[in-house]
Chain A
Amino acid sequence: MSGTFLGIPKFPAAAKKALSDSQLRRNLAHATGTIRAKRAAVVGEVADWEQLRLAGEAIKNRVLRHLPHYLEQLEKSLTAAGATVHWAVDAAEANRIVVDIAQRHGTDEVVKVKSMATQEVELNTALEAAGIRAWETDLAELIVQLGDDLPSHILVPAIHRNRAEVREIFLGKMGRVGKAAPDDLTDEPKRLAEAARTHLREKFLRAKVAVSGANFAVAETGTLTVVESEGNGRMCLTLPEVLVSVVGIEKVLPTFQDLDVMLQLLPRSSTGERMNPYTSMWTGVTPGDGPQEVHVILLDNGRTNVLADPTGRQALRCIRCSACLNVCPVYERTGGHAYGSVYPGPIGAILTPMLRGSDPQSDSLPYASSLCGACFEVCPVRIDIPAVLVHLRSRVVDEHKEASALPSVQDMAFKAASWTLASSRRTAAAEKAAGLGGRILGKRARTAPGGRAVLGPLPGPAAGWSQSRDIPVPAAESFRDWWKRTEGGTRDTGSAPTARRKGGRS
């Protein structure tokens, strides 16, 4: 079930496809616009929001500075509380551990709380290969799973779907894997939620093994936390006999008190709520209450590589609130699938290439941004995503230079530009040539409002720009030439050579 991101094309190509899907663009603009407004309203209520952000940043930085220490402390606390701790260096190891546990309990199905970590390692696929079915219990995740689809948002994996589409999926697919949706199902949210609840109840009550992630793991006490809005997570965490949690190593927090800051930052940033509806915490095993066998898998899967990058490591501060996705103008238009990873949007554009390493798709991600900075502005833990994007672009350029004997067209263009622009004499000469070219091109130009000569669609390297945008004809006289000719306007301020202008530009 559910697809895989393998083989997704480079960002520009994937984005092009999404951009032509007008239904998708409407769904996304509506959904992100709504969450964005909610977030802005509840964040606006908090007078010391900036202080909270700084506190969140500081806590996470402390964790990253002393990660081995806090992880060892967490392991100790968890073990003392009766949990079993496993370490997984990569996806394969994490999946093997989960499969082993399920098989040891002789079950062929598990229920799941929505978890980014298990999506990242593609646990469902691994379980399926071992003949174990994994049932997603988060509503949006269920929609994605039943629709053989891929998640496109961290928090709202089915954000790209509208109600009518959800109804179709439920009617068509629920019956094949469990309790069917009622024939008279409408697309009212209430009816859809009811159908999902009835479908899932059967699975909750039957399953022996549950799989979760964790939003935070407190080193001091060994307490894991899941925050959610539907209560399905709580059912997973309490009903089955065995609970397995897959937790990224960056999720650790030093003390219980640090949760104070995080639980204020997270709900306001993510769902635009003052407090999230369900906060579940569990500390190992409590005899006679809840799961009697608790496993925690601490997952690396590339995280120590991220940690080794002084500029990039701040990405590990991420608390997966998704605020950066909801404000990102690129995400809003392309949707999440274009990013080719379970981590889409601005955070995905920096995290995915660092976790996964270089490949053509990864290398296209740092360029999937206009560097507008909206993501940094909303990030509750102040990750400077634009700075990391620029840093990763330089990594792409440098690695490419090292790897290939021949410089690319782009390499040569920037080398040439660097040579030209490092000297004002060479720059002036280049501008003269462009001005001359402008005068020739000026014959093909038309006049834009204000009197500026512009060119329509052009062939060759300018096609990318000029397919939809007019381009101004280079000025016949550069500023530096004007300054030289008039000594900065103090002598003969008469108009410049006029080939490009039909009326003065003011």
Chain B
Amino acid sequence: MSSVGLMVTCMNDALFPDTGRAVVTLLRRLGVEVGFPAKQTCCGQPMVNTGYLDEAVPLLRNHLDAFVGCEAVVVPSGSCAGSVRHQHRILAERSGDPGLVRAVEQAPPVYELTEYLVDVLGVVDVGAYFPHRVTYHPTCHSLRMLGVGDRPTRLLRGVRGLTLLELPAADECCGFGGTFAVKNADTSVAMGSDKARHVRESGAEVLVAGDNSCLMHIGGLLSRERSGIRVMHLAEILAATETTRTRTTEPEAVTAR
């Protein structure tokens, strides 16, 4: 039996705990032993991407400490996987501490969830059931920084009952971009509104992606415009089975303020 350390990401931990729970359910169903190193907090990406490199170093140390000894690390976020894989080294080198550079080099391999499922476990049918019309948004970091390719859509095609609809201009950025969403809110919203329009045009009931950060942005717009379209993390769909209760739309009376 393989065992992994689950990196749940700071955002999932505080805002979207259901995603982490779904990963636990899914991996256990596939026979993986899942541990949650409780010392973990945040990989430091928000600091690095805003330019606060010195402030990110304590987070890097904590992260390395938390996952030391794990066979592999699985994370339900393309963005955070990319940060660990590409930014940690830069951060360690800048700190000028050779011990930290060594620790980064010796850290366990980190896999974005779909990489782990397809490449390590070798599955594309995870035994999920989700009878809804779904469209998939390939978030920029999973698409370009990690290059997860068609792994997510192969997994989605393996879900029984699911209709996968094409998302127009799928590979264009949704405009989240971390600090960008606040520092350049107007531009961010302009980009997100186009993405939301494409989601509506796809005819889907549910928008799915591998990063809750982007989903929070697009979902925040879809919800403000009362589109009735729900956003879900890919892990939650892959964890769903006949016995899971899923709700894709809310009755009007509840949605109205």
Closest beta carbon of chain A to B72's beta carbon, Å:
17
Once A417-B47, A447-B255, A488-B36 are accepted as A-B contacts, the answer to whether A506 and B185 lie under 8 Å apart by CB is no
Closest beta carbon of chain A to B216's beta carbon, Å:
6
With most chain A CB atoms within 10 A of its CB, the pick from B40, B41, B51 is B51
Encode A390-427 as 1/0 by CB contact (under 8 A) with B. 10111111100000000000100011011101111001
Residues from chain A with Cβ under 8 Å of B109 in the complex: none
Closest beta carbon of chain B to A146's beta carbon, Å:
30
Say yes or no: is A502 at the interface (Cβ < 8 Å to chain B): yes
Closest beta carbon of chain B to A486's beta carbon, Å:
9
Partner of B216, one of A424, A472, A475: A472
Encode A425-469 as 1/0 by CB contact (under 8 A) with B. 001000100110000000000111111001010000000111111
Closest to B177 in A: A370
Residues from chain A with Cβ under 8 Å of B22 in the complex: 506
Residues from chain B with Cβ under 8 Å of A16 in the complex: 186
**Cβ < 8 Å to B, chain A residues 450-506:** 450-451, 454, 456, 464-472, 474-475, 477-480, 482-484, 488-489, 496, 502-506
Bound Cα distance A504, B53 (Å) = 38
Residues from chain A with Cβ under 8 Å of B56 in the complex: 418
Bound Cα distance A15, B191 (Å) = 13
Assess the A369–B224 pair: CB atoms within 8 A.
no
Partner of A422, one of B18, B59, B185: B59
Bound Cα distance A230, B228 (Å) = 51
Bound Cα distance A333, B246 (Å) = 37
Assess the B51–A393 pair: CB atoms within 8 A.
yes
Bound Cα distance A454, B225 (Å) = 13
**Cβ < 8 Å to A, chain B residues 21-37:** 21-22, 24-25, 34-36
Q: In the complex, how many residues of chain A place their beta carbon closer than 8 angstroms to a beta carbon of chain B?
A: 76
Assess the B47–A418 pair: CB atoms within 8 A.
yes
Closest beta carbon of chain B to A29's beta carbon, Å:
9
Closest beta carbon of chain B to A505's beta carbon, Å:
5
Instruction: Determine chain A's interface SS by DSSP, over half rule.
Output: helix
With most chain B CB atoms within 10 A of its CB, the pick from A415, A435, A478 is A478
Closest to A489 in B: B24
Closest to B61 in A: A422
Assess the A370–B188 pair: CB atoms within 8 A.
yes
Assess the A506–B223 pair: CB atoms within 8 A.
no
Once A449-B255, A505-B18 are accepted as A-B contacts, the answer to whether A367 and B183 lie under 8 Å apart by CB is yes
- Total number of residue pairs linking A and B with CB closer than 8 Å: 242
Assess the B245–A469 pair: CB atoms within 8 A.
no
Assess the B178–A371 pair: CB atoms within 8 A.
yes
Bound Cα distance A12, B190 (Å) = 13
Bound Cα distance A419, B42 (Å) = 12
Closest to A502 in B: B254
Assess the A447–B184 pair: CB atoms within 8 A.
no
Assess the A469–B217 pair: CB atoms within 8 A.
yes
Assess the B229–A474 pair: CB atoms within 8 A.
no
Assess the A371–B185 pair: CB atoms within 8 A.
no
Say yes or no: is B209 at the interface (Cβ < 8 Å to chain A): no
Residues from chain A with Cβ under 8 Å of B48 in the complex: 390
Bound Cα distance A488, B24 (Å) = 8
Assess the B55–A467 pair: CB atoms within 8 A.
no
Partner of B144, one of A333, A368, A377, A484: A377
Closest to B195 in A: A329
Bound Cα distance A112, B108 (Å) = 59
Closest beta carbon of chain A to B246's beta carbon, Å:
5
Say yes or no: is B189 at the interface (Cβ < 8 Å to chain A): yes
Closest beta carbon of chain B to A473's beta carbon, Å:
9
Assess the A482–B17 pair: CB atoms within 8 A.
yes
Once A367-B179, A397-B52, A418-B59 are accepted as A-B contacts, the answer to whether A475 and B14 lie under 8 Å apart by CB is yes
Assess the B14–A478 pair: CB atoms within 8 A.
yes
Assess the A393–B49 pair: CB atoms within 8 A.
yes
Say yes or no: is A362 at the interface (Cβ < 8 Å to chain B): no
Partner of B220, one of A464, A471, A483, A488: A471
Residues from chain B with Cβ under 8 Å of A367 in the complex: 179-180, 183-184
Assess the A506–B61 pair: CB atoms within 8 A.
no
Partner of A424, one of B40, B171, B223, B257: B40
Residues from chain A with Cβ under 8 Å of B244 in the complex: 506
Residues from chain B with Cβ under 8 Å of A11 in the complex: 184
Say yes or no: is A373 at the interface (Cβ < 8 Å to chain B): yes
Say yes or no: is B170 at the interface (Cβ < 8 Å to chain A): no
Say yes or no: is B248 at the interface (Cβ < 8 Å to chain A): yes
Residues from chain A with Cβ under 8 Å of B228 in the complex: 449
Partner of B175, one of A329, A480, A483: A329
Say yes or no: is A334 at the interface (Cβ < 8 Å to chain B): yes
Assess the B17–A470 pair: CB atoms within 8 A.
no
Residues from chain B with Cβ under 8 Å of A464 in the complex: 182-183, 185
Assess the B250–A503 pair: CB atoms within 8 A.
yes
Residues from chain A with Cβ under 8 Å of B51 in the complex: 366, 390, 392-398
Assess the A449–B250 pair: CB atoms within 8 A.
yes
Say yes or no: is A376 at the interface (Cβ < 8 Å to chain B): yes
Bound Cα distance A427, B183 (Å) = 25
Residues from chain B with Cβ under 8 Å of A31 in the complex: none
Say yes or no: is B163 at the interface (Cβ < 8 Å to chain A): no
Say yes or no: is A85 at the interface (Cβ < 8 Å to chain B): no
Say yes or no: is B232 at the interface (Cβ < 8 Å to chain A): yes
Closest to B20 in A: A479
**Cβ < 8 Å to B, chain A residues 349-408:** 366-374, 376-377, 390, 392-398
A19-B186, A329-B175 are known; give 5 further A-B pairs, CB within 8 A: A370-B177, A373-B144, A427-B10, A448-B223, A480-B8
CB<8 Å pairs between A and B, sample of 10: A15-B186, A398-B51, A414-B55, A419-B58, A470-B224, A475-B16, A475-B17, A482-B20, A505-B18, A506-B247
Taking Cβ atoms with an 8 Å cutoff, the residues of B that contact A are 8, 10, 12-18, 20-22, 24-25, 34-36, 38-42, 46-53, 55-56, 58-59, 61-62, 66, 87, 140-141, 143-145, 171-173, 175-193, 216-217, 219-224, 227-232, 236, 240, 244-250, 254-257
Q: Nearest 6 CB-CB pairs, A to B? A: A370-B177, A469-B220, A393-B51, A372-B173, A373-B144, A422-B58
